[in-house]
């Protein structure tokens, strides 16, 4: 179903609120590397943050992520990584 301002993603299966159409940055871990795909059209729940994409967007994401040459050419940044510990900080 189409809405005047974009696609109607329906209701969130987690909390029941209506999804809002947004552009998001979606992250994926591939072979221990973080890959971020920017400006992905998605439905985002304003209540719980659940995200969904249309099937054609999911297929396009799969093609993007399967293109190892394109990913290798993409700009990279350093991302801090810390290890969770149950011990209290001093």
- Could you read off the pLDDT of 30-73 as tens digits, one per residue? 888 899 999 999 999 999 999 999 999 999 999 999 999 999 99
Mean residue pLDDT of the chain comes to: 91
Q: DSSP letters of the chain?
A: -EETTEE---B-TTT-PBPEEEEEEEEEEETTEEEEEEEEEEEE-TTT--EE--HHHHHHHHHHHH-HHHHHHS-----------SSPP-
């Amino acid at each position: 179903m189409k809405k005047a301002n974009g696609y109607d993603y329906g209701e969130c299966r987690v909390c029941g609120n209506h999804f809002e159409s947004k552009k998001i940055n979606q992250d994926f871990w591939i072979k221990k590397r973080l890959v971020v795909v920017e400006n992905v059209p998605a439905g985002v729940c304003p209540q719980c943050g659940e995200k969904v994409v249309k099937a054609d967007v999911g297929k396009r994401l799969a093609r993007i992520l399967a293109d190892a040459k394109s990913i290798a050419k993409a700009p990279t940044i350093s991302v801090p990584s810390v290890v969770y510990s149950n011990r209290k900080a001093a």
